[in-house]
Structure 1
Amino acid sequence: MHSTRKIKEDLIYVGGSDRRLSRFENLFPIPRGVSYNSYVLLDDKTVLMDTADESISRQYIENVVHALDGRPLDYMIVQHMEPDHCAMIDAVMSRYPEAKMVCTAKAAQMFAQFYDLDVSDRTLVVKEGDKLSTGEHTLHFVLAPMVHWPEVMVTYDEKDKILFSADAFGTFGALAGNIFDDEITFDDVWMNDARRYYTNIVGKYGVQVQAVLKKAAALDIQMICPLHGPIWRENLGTLLEKYQKWSTYEPEDKTVMIAYATMYGNTENAVNVLANMLADKGVKNIAMYDVSETDVSELVAESFRCSHIVLAAPTYNGGVQPKMEAYLSDIKALALQNRTVAIIDNGTWAPTAGKQMRAVIDTMKNMTVLENPITLKSALAKNQLASLDALAEELASQVNG
């Protein structure tokens, strides 16, 4: 049976959700699942906006068939050729042999890499600014390269003022009937998933996101239909404000994130003492994470959120503790910048992690590393409390400003 919903009288949601998948892209934990969104427009010509992941193939095809209600499919718009959105293209093209695939030249090239199926005579390649009239609706195509693949485009419906935004403005989290942002409480849970989705998947491409935001600013957008997560029709300002911050690497919150690695609890004890000192000096909403217990995608998201980061780790095999090393590698790869960082390291006989952590941070853009790092020799000593308090004072004065 179908599980569709009307967005407008002639626009139908035909996507679905996967609650069984444990890791998105076999990498990012998704305890709340994920949705794969797709849309059918019923104008003089019918249009399918993207397809879905193979995991929901049966439900997806039933939804599309129900939405078309016996009508042929005229156009299938492919905005993004990643398999979670293109896995059903061959099934759709086979079921609807008259349908034309509308996509960028780069997407057409990628299609040939994914499928041993010649659809060249059924492909309509579009470029920046091209338009497609379907009757009452005019679809305006806007290229969005590297948000977050090179072939991506977004589609603007001039009649209903809807932006079909591909992976932009998406979020982790399965949908449960309520597909609109004003039908759910977009609280910290949803916002955390939106942040984690953006920062880990699109975060590296802030310049390209900024380019798309500038293009979007020239359009009168009343609704955003992304490929993951809820459809935005009420709180567009909140979403756009977050994207502006994330894509310019501006911290959302002036607070301290403490990311620590610990082997036997001594490094953890030191940062617990530091956290208490920070709290006594008026720092609120301190975030603290054991990098060995917290998924790195969460650490990345929190690094984008917080203005100040404390890195604390022991030396391990002459290097940085592996989980801390992986976290640093990720924030560097995702182009995190405009943060202030403090460093604490630990080592019983040859502490070198601090210098190595700083070496990574020094390769990143617009990062300020506080001088006078703290080095523990096995455990925090009483004569180091003054240095730790001085670090807390410097962080607090900056955060409380």
Structure 2
Amino acid sequence: MRKHVKGNVSWVGYIDWELEKFHGDDYSIKNGSSQNAYLIEEEKTVLIDTVWVPHSDEFVENLEREIDLKKIDFIVANHGECDHSGSLVTLMEKIPETPIFCTANAVKSLEGQFGKRGWNFRVVKTKDTLEIGNGKSLVFVEMPMLHWPDSMATFLTGDNILFSNDAFGQHYAVEELFDGKADPCLLWKEAMKYYANILTPFSPMVTKKLAEIGGFNLPIEMIAPSHGAIWAEAPARIVEKYAAWADAYQEDQVTVAYDTMWEGTAKLAHAIAQELHAQSPETVVKVFNISKADKNEVMTEVFKSRAIAVGSPTVSNSYLSSMAGWLEFLKQLKFRNKKAAAFGCHGWSGEGVKLLQQKLKEAGFTVVEENVRSLWNPGEADYAEIPGLARALLS
């Protein structure tokens, strides 16, 4: 079922209330999501993006009920990832000659995923335009690494809608489509989670791209991403948030992340949190056991933090395997301008804390020298080290 967006633009995507994970199992979904596709019907009819394979048959069938598929003059593939392109195979079997406008890298992506099917690709670059009648045109803007090399956005003149694909999106189901109808707390929470876990590694590119788009002086009145709510009420708000989030973002928060075997490291984690709060009552302090907490939620809190404390017992001359995976994810996200400290218990060799410090440095954190390295279970001497660690993180 189509839903009206603005002018002669309709939403023809899929609201996925049951979705619980994304990117394999790498991203958690708590409030549903959507794959947004859009239909523009001017003198020329344009389909912008599709939905992914599990819903491809339903997508094409719904589209056929709304419009004669042969009336689709152009398809715009803003991004080749399968959650946006998954219905192309089914759709192109019915309209095989329809031109597909996309970047050169998107051709590689689409042919890499679906094979060379002889599709009619029209490669576009930044500022290329496509006239669609009634005085309106599409303006293409390459958006490499927001968040794949092939990504682009498409601007519709006249209606002044930026179809931004993955940029400015959220994994959040909003049946009513628009930001003004969404729960604002959930909307901004999911927007930040999306940025923190997907776009943070590319923040320097986000900053440059926002400046470039700003230089085009496009009169953007609406931002229509490929996931989540459409930004219709003062869309500049999400652009401003992206600018802030891309600029080594932090709030007055410290996050303590740990795993434990026999609760010794857990005791240290909670003692560190209490000391942080005691020294700086206005600072938000949060504690997570990473083997129990949702990793994407934890990384969103790390994104907000100015410092973190990371703890694990020493196991097999290293740290717990749960911590190893978490640290690798932390490194991938390339956080900037944040401090870190390490702590943990040990029984024999005791090198876990030193290895944690090394990994935190590799992840781009400024690691303080102060640490807590407890033999067996924490004792008075170990707890006496905590105030110095807290001061170092807060300074």
- Per-residue deviation, residues 342-393 of structure 1 (Å, max 9, x unmatched): 221210222111111111122244x321222111112221133332123334
* CA–CA distance in structure 2, aligned partners of residues 382 and 117 of structure 1: 68
State the distance in 2 between where 1:158 and 1:337 align: 37
- Conserved 8 A contact 1:12-1:67: no
Note if 1:272 corresponds to 2:282: no
Aligned mates of 1:391, 1:111 — CA distance in 2: 50
Q: Which amino acid aligns with 1:323?
A: S
- TM-score normalised to structure 2 length: 0.93
Instruction: Tell me which moved more, 111-120 or 158-167.
Output: 111-120
Q: Is the 8 A contact 2:69 2:95 kept in 1?
A: no
1:202 to 182, 194, 199: 199
**Superposition deviation, residue 193 in structure 1:** 2.3
* 1:277-356 → structure 2 map (5 Å cutoff): 277-281=275-279, 282-356=281-355
CA displacement, residues 305-350 of structure 1 (integer Å, 9 cap, x when unaligned): 1111011111111111111221111111121121011221210222
Question: 1:117: how far off?
Answer: 4.9
- Note the C-alpha offset of 1:238: 3.2
Instruction: Measure the CA separation in 2 of the matches of 1:119 and 1:125.
Output: 14
Could you say what secondary structure the match of 1:311 adopts? Answer: strand
Structure 1 gaps of 5+ residues are: none
* Maintained 8 Å contact 1:73/1:98: no
RMSD: 1.9
Letter of the 2:317 partner, please give it.
G
Q: Which residue is 1:50 aligned to?
A: 49
State the secondary structure of the residue aligned to 1:56: helix
Give 1:134's aligned residue.
132
Match of 1:388 in 2: 386
2:102 alignment partner AA: C
Moved more, 339-348 or 276-285: 276-285
Aligned position for 1:223: 222
Q: Which amino acid aligns with 1:132?
A: L
Instruction: Tell me which residue corresponds to 1:193.
Output: 190
Structure 1 Cα separation of the partners of residues 161 and 385 of structure 2? 55
**Cα deviation per residue 1:57-91 (whole Å; 9 max; x = unaligned)?**
24422442344367710000001001111111122
Which residue is equivalent to 1:164? 163
Aligned length: 390
* CA pair 273-200 structure 1, distance change in 2 beyond 3 A: same
* TM-score where L is the length of structure 1: 0.92
Q: CA deviation at 1:180?
A: 0.5
SS at match of 1:357: helix
Q: In the alignment, is the contact (CA less than 8 A) between 2:131 and 2:137 conserved in 1?
A: yes
Question: In 2, are the aligned partners of 1:300 and 1:327 still within 8 Å (CA)?
Answer: no
Mapped contact 2:77–2:102 kept (Cα < 8 A): yes
Q: State how far apart, in whole Å, the 2-side matches of 1:339 and 1:171 are.
A: 25
SS in 2 for 1:250: coil
Deviation at 1:25, TM superposition (A): 1.6
Gaps of 5+ in 2: none
Q: Distance in 2 between matches of 1:60 and 1:157?
A: 23
How many Å separate the matches in 2 of 1:379 and 1:238? Answer: 49
Q: How far apart, CA to CA, are the structure 1 residues paired with 2:316 and 2:173?
A: 41
The residue type equivalent to 1:333 in the other structure is Q
Please give the alpha-carbon distance, in whole angstroms, between the structure 2 residues aligned to 1:270 and 1:92.
57
Give the AA of the match of 1:142.
V
Moved more, 125-134 or 55-64: 55-64
Q: For the residues of structure 2 that align with 1:67 and 1:306, how far apart are their CA atoms?
A: 47
For the 8 Å contact 2:268–2:344, the answer to whether it is kept is no
Deviation at 1:300, TM superposition (A): 2.0
Q: Percent identity?
A: 29
Partner of 1:10: 8
What does residue 260 of structure 1 align with? 258
Letter in 1 for 2:270: N
